[in-house]
Amino acid sequence: MSNQQWKAKWRRNDIAFHQDAVNPLLQQFWEELELPEGSVVLVPLCGKSLDMGWLATLGFRVMGIELSDIAVQDYFAALDVVPIRARHGRFAKWKHGNTEIWRGDLFDLTAQDLSEVRGLYDCAALTALPADIRIRYVEHITKVLPPGCQMLLMTTESPDDTQADSALEIDEEVAALYSAGYTVELLYGKARIKIDPEYPDEPAASFDEKVYRIRPRPVQDAA
Ligand SMILES: C[S@@+](CC[C@H](N)C(=O)[O-])C[C@H]1O[C@@H](n2cnc3c(N)ncnc32)[C@H](O)[C@@H]1O
């Protein structure tokens, strides 16, 4: 989808991807990154995810990136707070407490913008993008993140019928996307069945739900 199409989706309130509760897998696995309290956590393609509030209440400094004004407005309105707004290059920064949401295009982020980031939480960011843009997304994000930054990646994947239990395997595409300088570990994988909220009239579909920890390889090991 183009940026205009995403913004139009928000205008139509066509946001079935939005969850009304904090992701329990985030709550279960976040501490695996062992980030010190106060670290800056990047949440790319954040929408108005409540997961950001959960990270902020743990004492992390949250930096969300989102295209849609509506998402950002809704996020702060739901907390009943009035954020301070400021311009930063091509972004509009909205800030309240230890949460900043930068309204703009992720591909406009620079290394300087992210110099303080120590962790990245990817929920429905990589997986929201089509395959060709996923490559561009990972290339860009890994180019502009500071060295040493770790990631927690949540995915929903189509089961691979050639494998006995593909939910317990690292997806080949995920491994390939991050192979240049990172190690990919599967922290959790479960085969599940559910109605896709984007297509509520379709029959329930099988999918693999996974959580990955992605950590930079020591420099001497990186290809
Ligand atoms: C599938 S939704 C996921 C939202 C959120 N992570 C969640 O779990 O609710 C993807 C979000 O990414 C935003 N988005 C898409 N492309 C973007 C880009 N290039 N830069 C910033 N945000 C983008 C969309 O507006 C949408 O809110």
Asked whether residue 153 is assigned to any structural domain, the reply reads yes
Q: Which domain holds residue 54?
A: 3-13+22-216
Q: The tokens of 98 are what? A: 């230890």
- Tell me the CA–centroid distance for residue 100 and ligand 1, in Å: 15
What integer best gives the mean pLDDT of the chain?
Answer: 95
Asked whether residue 223 is assigned to any structural domain, the reply reads no
- Tell me the CA–centroid distance for residue 223 and ligand 1, in Å: 30
pLDDT above 80 (res 4): yes
CATH of the domain at 84: 3.40.50.150
Q: The tokens of 115 are what? A: 């110099």
- Whole-model pTM? 0.95
Asked whether residue 221 is assigned to any structural domain, the reply reads no
> Domain tally for the chain?
1
**Residue bearing the bigger pLDDT, 217 or 197:** 217
Angle at 12 between CA 10 and CA 18, to 5 degrees: 50
The Cα–Cα gap between 55 and 41 comes to 8
Site of tokens 């006995």: 164
**Atom 11, ligand 1: residue with shortest CA distance:** 45
Q: Hey, which residues does 88 pair with through a beta bridge?
A: 91
Q: How does pLDDT run across 98-121, given as a tens digit for each residue?
A: 999 999 999 999 999 999 999 999
Q: What is the pLDDT of residue 177?
A: 97
